[in-house]
Chains A and B, each alone.
Chain A
Amino acid sequence: MNETKDIAIEVVGLSKSYGPVRALRSVDIAIGRNEYFVLLGPSGGGKTTLLRMIGGFTKPTAGRILLHGVDVAHLPPDKRPTCMVFQSYALFPHMTVAGNVGYGLKLKGMSKAEIQVRLDAVLEMVGLNGYQARMPWELSGGQQQRVQLARALVLEPEILLLDEPLAALDEQLRKDMCIWLKHLQERVGITFIHVTHNQEEAMSVADRIALIADGELVECGDARQVYRTPARRFTASFMGESNLLDGTVAEVSGDGTVTVDVGIARVAVPSADATAGIQAAVSVRSEAMRLIPRDQAQGADEQALDAIYQEEIYLGLMTRQIMALPNGQTISVRSVSDDDEAPAFQAGDAVRVVWKTAAGRLHLS
C-alpha cells in the first residue's frame, strides 16, 4: 500500500498568530488513518487551536492542512470530512435527543424514514437507545457527551475531532468514558483526534500522543514511548512525575553512557550520542527511585545522590517521600504504600536516593 494513503491528516508548517501572540508556531504532524491520536499539553499551549484549524473553525496564519491528501485550508467546517465534539455539553437545548442527532441529517435533506433508521443505529452504538424523546437537561453529563458523539458520528465523518470531551465530567466517569471512547473508536474504525490536558486520559485512549506546549509540537510518539523514554526535557517534566537534574555533559564514555555534572554530583545516564560540555538535563521517574540510609552503598548498576529526608505524603496506593538535595532542590520518590520492608526515616535523616543507571534519561533539549 502506498504510504501517503495511510495518512488521514497531514499538517505542514501550520502557524497561527493572534496579533503579536503566536498561538501555534510552524507545527508539522502526520496522523494515520483509523488512528486514535491525542493532542496533549498544558492549557493555552495551542492544542485546541490546532484542532480548531483542522476542523475549520479557525483560519491558519500560515501552513497547510491536508485531509486525505487534499488541502482543505479554504473550506468551511461542514465541507470537510471532519466533525467536532465540543468541550461543553454543546447540545441544542430546545431539541430532544432525536432532534439533536437528526438535525445534521435533516439539513442534508434526508427523508424522515432514512433519518429514523440512521438515528436508531447511532443511538444504539453510543448506548442511548430509548432516549430519543429525552431533552438535554434530563440527561447526565456523560449521556450528553454521548449524544454529542452520536450527533457527530451519524454524519459518518472520516475524522472525529474531540475538544476536551471529558473535561466537564467527574473523575470516575471520566475514567469509564475513556475506555468507552477507545472501544467506540475501535468499533467505528475512523480517525479520532482528541484534545486533553489530562495525562491519564491521554494515555488510556491514545494510539499516539503529540505533546504540545507554547505553540510548539514538543514530542510525538506512542503513549508508552512518550512516558518511558521522553526525548525532551519538557516531556519528562510533563508526563508522569519525574525528578529533573540540570547540568552539563562532563564525559562521554564508550560503553553507551554519558556522565553529567549536575553541580552537586556526577551521574551517569545511558545515551547514544552527546558531546562533552553541552547543556543537558537528566530525568528519573519518581517511582524508579528508592531511598537507602546514607551509610549504605548503592548497587554497581545504580546511581546515587546524597539528600536530607524531609517528609512523607500518603496518597493511598502510593506514598511520596520528599528529600532535599544539598543545593536545595527537592526530590520526590514514590513507592507503593504499606510496604513493610521499606525503611522508615525521620525528618532530617541523612539518606541516599538511588536509581538504576538504565532508568535515567538524558535530555539535550
Chain B
Amino acid sequence: MAGSDWRDRYGTEGGGPRPASLGVMARVFSEDGLGKWALYAPTVFVILFFIVPTALTVVWSFFERTMFWMEPGFTLFSYVNFFTSARFENFLFSMLHSSVSVVVSFVVGFPIAVFVRRHVPTVAQHRVILLFILPFMVSEIIRTFMLRPVLGRNGLVNTFLTDLGVISEPITQILFTPTGVIIGEVLSFLPFIVFSGFLAMEAVPKYIFEVCQDLGASRWRTFWDIIVPLAAPGIFAGSVFIFVNGIGVALIPSILGGPGAVNAGLIATQAIIALDIPLAMAVSAIMMVTLFGLLAIGHRLFNLTKILEPQA
C-alpha cells in the first residue's frame, strides 16, 4: 500500500492528483489490493466452515467422555459402543428405510420431472417446477407434525377408508412405525427429486424422443435405455441427497417414528441429550464416511462434475 500512497500524493500518474474516491476504490479492487484476496474467499470459507468442522468431528469422536463434556485422548470406545449396541442395527435399518424413501421418491417424482420437461411449454417449465417449492413455505416441523392427524388411528386416512368400507378396523401400522417415517421422508424430500430430475432431464435432448419413436422403441425401452442413462448423474445426485437426509434428519423419526424407527440423526441427537458428545461425534463421522463413500461411487460411475457443466 505504501507504494501507491506516494503516487496518490504526488500524482505521478496522469499528471495530476486522482479524485480521492476513485483512488480508494481502485486501490481496494486493484490486482495488488483486496481484489487479489477475493479469489481466496471461497477457499477460506470452505476451510472454516467445512474442513475444520469435519476434522473436529472426527478428532472429537476419539476423545474420552467425561461427565458433562470430553477430554483429549484416543479411544475407540465410542465406536465400539456404536457398533456393539442396538444403535448399529438401528443405523442399518435407517439406511434401509432411507433407500426405500429414495426409490419411492424416484418412482413418484421423476416421472413428474420428465412430464414437465416433455409436455409443459418451455417458458412455463420453471414456473411449474417452482410450485414444488411451495411446501417449503411451511415450517418442516409443522409439515411433519400435520401428518400425525392424517396418518393416526383416527386420522384422515383411516376415517376415509373406514367410511368407504375398504377396511373395518383402523390401520395402526402407519404412524410411529418405519412406514410412517418413510411417508414423512417421501413427502419432505419429493421436491428435491423433482428438482434434480428436472435438471437431469436437461441432459436428455428433446429429439431423443422422436428418434426413439422412429426406431420403434417402446416407452419402457426409451425410459430405461435412453432417459435413465442420460439423466443418471442428476438422478444419482438427487438420490444421494434424499438418502443422506433420510438417515440424518432427526426431526421426522422423532415426530413420526416409533421405537423401531430411529435413524442416525436421532441417535446422534439422543447421544447429545445424554451428554455423550464423543458418541454423537462418532455417529456423525460414520455418516460422513457413508456420504463420501456414496459420492465416490457415484463419481466413479457417472462423473458427477458433468451435472455442473452447461449443456450444449
Q: Which residues of A line the B interface, CB within 8 A?
A: 55-57, 76-79, 83-84, 86, 88, 90, 92-94, 103-104, 107-108, 151-152, 155
Contact = CB atoms under 8 A, between A and B. Distances in A.
Interface residues of B, number: 16
5 contacts: A78-B215, A78-B217, A94-B229, A107-B217, A107-B221
B201 to A, nearest CB: 13
A90 B205 contact: yes
Contact of B230 (A83, A84, A94): A94
Contacts of B213: 56-57, 76-78
Given A103-B215, A107-B221, A108-B216, A84 B205 contact: no
Contact of A104 (B208, B216, B229): B216
B225 interface: yes
B301 interface: no
Interface in B282-303: none
A88 B211 contact: no
B217 A90 contact: no
- Closest A-B pairs by Cβ, 4 of them: A78-B216, A104-B215, A90-B207, A77-B214
Contacts of A79: 216
A55 to B, nearest CB: 7
A83 B216 CA distance: 10
Contacts of B216: 77-79, 104, 107-108
Contacts of A88: 205, 207
Nearest to A100: B211
B217 A86 contact: no
Nearest to A91: B211
A88 B208 CA distance: 11
A107 B224 CA distance: 13
B215 A155 contact: yes
B230 to A, nearest CB: 6
A88 B207 CA distance: 8
Contact of A103 (B203, B210, B225, B229): B225
Contacts of B215: 78, 103-104, 107, 151, 155
Contacts of A56: 213
Given A55-B214, A103-B215, A103-B217, 19 more contacts: A57-B214, A77-B213, A77-B214, A77-B216, A78-B213, A79-B216, A84-B210, A84-B211, A84-B214, A88-B205, A90-B208, A90-B210, A92-B211, A92-B226, A93-B205, A94-B226, A107-B216, A107-B221, A151-B215
A154 to B, nearest CB: 10
Interface string B199-241: 0000101011011011111000100011001100000000000
A58 B230 CA distance: 26
Contacts of B210: 57, 77, 84, 86, 90
Nearest to B207: A90
A76 B218 CA distance: 11
Contacts of A152: 214
Nearest to B229: A94
